[in-house]
Amino acid sequence: MSTNLPSVGILASGRGSNCEAILQAIAEGTLAAKASLILSDNPKAGALELGSKFNVPARYLDPGRPHARLTPDCEPRYVRALQEAEVEWVILAGFMRILSKDFLSHFPDRVVNIHPSLLPSFPGLDAVGQAFAHGVKVTGCTVHFVDAGMDTGPIIHQKAIDVLPGDTEASLRKRLLTHEHRTYVEALQILMSKRYDRQGRRVVIHS
Ligand code: GRF
């Protein structure tokens, strides 16, 4: 495989289905990138088990505290691990932490996240539950650059799905997750092939 492929590191806290979709796309050659590292703040994360399946180094790194941010002691260890793996792009796939400005300064415009709503609607925790309870007729997911806020960075890619009359929160959640997998891979294809320009908050995609 060419060593010129952009190197990505994936940060995940949980089950890891987006992580798996990304690793699968890389393995199949539909996403031209090299997965260099999987890091998790949760020793039981399903994402860590994907390391052996896809032959990617996978490590738990102590976050220092249970919620919110990595502690000032622990965050630099995440930066170091990513730098040592020569990661160029940091991909958040269900990573339940807000990253500091200092972390982001090491990977300028190279940290991306997926959120299961059409931002700026329903940022934060349980976006699908929030949207369902609100009674929206259309929802979706958003891939965005990460800034120091919560789900506030510039939008890269956004795709909608209908909420169907017979949907329950569980059925919507399930359909949306599959939709996320496709949308995240599409967004990463755009980024890895450099088919975009940043114009302030606007990310303009070229065909
Ligand atoms: C996804 O819904 C993602 O949008 C959100 O957290 C969830 C992670 O799911 N940020 P998984 O671990 O990728 O299965």
CA-176 nearest atom, ligand 1: 2
194 alpha carbon to ligand 1 midpoint, in Å? 25
Active site residues: 115
Tokens of 49: 């088990």
Report yes or no: 107 and 90 within 8 Å, Cβ to Cβ.
Answer: yes
121 alpha carbon to ligand 1 midpoint, in Å? 17
Report yes or no: 67 and 13 within 8 Å, Cβ to Cβ.
Answer: no
Paired residues of 157 in beta bridges: 143
Q: Select from 13, 17, 18, 144 the residue to mutate for testing ligand 1; criterion: most ligand atoms less than 8 Å from CB.
A: 18
For residue 206, CA distances in Å to 55, 110, 153, 180 come to 33, 18, 20, 21
Is there an atom of ligand 1 within 6 Å of 94 CB? yes
Long-range CB contacts for residues 50-58, cutoff 8 Å, separation at least 24: 50/16, 50/19, 50/20, 50/23, 53/23, 54/23, 54/24, 54/26, 54/27, 56/23, 57/85
Report yes or no: 38 and 58 within 8 Å, Cβ to Cβ.
Answer: yes
105 alpha carbon to ligand 1 midpoint, in Å? 24
Q: Compute the distance between CA of residue 103 and CA of residue 44 in angstroms, rounded to an integer.
A: 24
Paired residues of 115 in beta bridges: 142
Among protein residues, the one with the nearest Cα to ligand 1's atom 6 is 94
Is there an atom of ligand 1 within 6 Å of 140 CB? no
Q: What is the pLDDT of residue 131?
A: 98
Q: What is the pLDDT of residue 164?
A: 98
Is there an atom of ligand 1 within 6 Å of 93 CB? yes
204 alpha carbon to ligand 1 midpoint, in Å? 25
CA-19 nearest atom, ligand 1: 13
Q: Compute the distance between CA of residue 91 and CA of residue 146 in angstroms, rounded to an integer.
A: 10
96 alpha carbon to ligand 1 midpoint, in Å? 9
Q: Which of 140, 157, 147, 23 is nearest to 93 (CA)?
A: 23
DSSP string of 119-157, one letter each residue: TTSS-SS-HHHHHHHHT-SEEEEEEEE--SSSS-SPEEE
Q: Which residues contact 4 (CB under 8 A, 6 or more apart)?
A: none
Among protein residues, the one with the nearest Cα to ligand 1's atom 5 is 94
Report yes or no: 158 and 140 within 8 Å, Cβ to Cβ.
Answer: yes
What is the pLDDT tens value at each position of the chain, 207 positions in all? 446 899 999 999 999 999 999 999 999 999 999 999 999 999 999 999 999 999 999 999 999 998 889 999 999 999 999 999 999 999 999 999 999 999 999 999 999 999 999 999 999 999 999 999 999 999 999 999 999 999 999 999 999 999 999 999 999 999 999 999 999 999 999 999 999 999 999 999 998
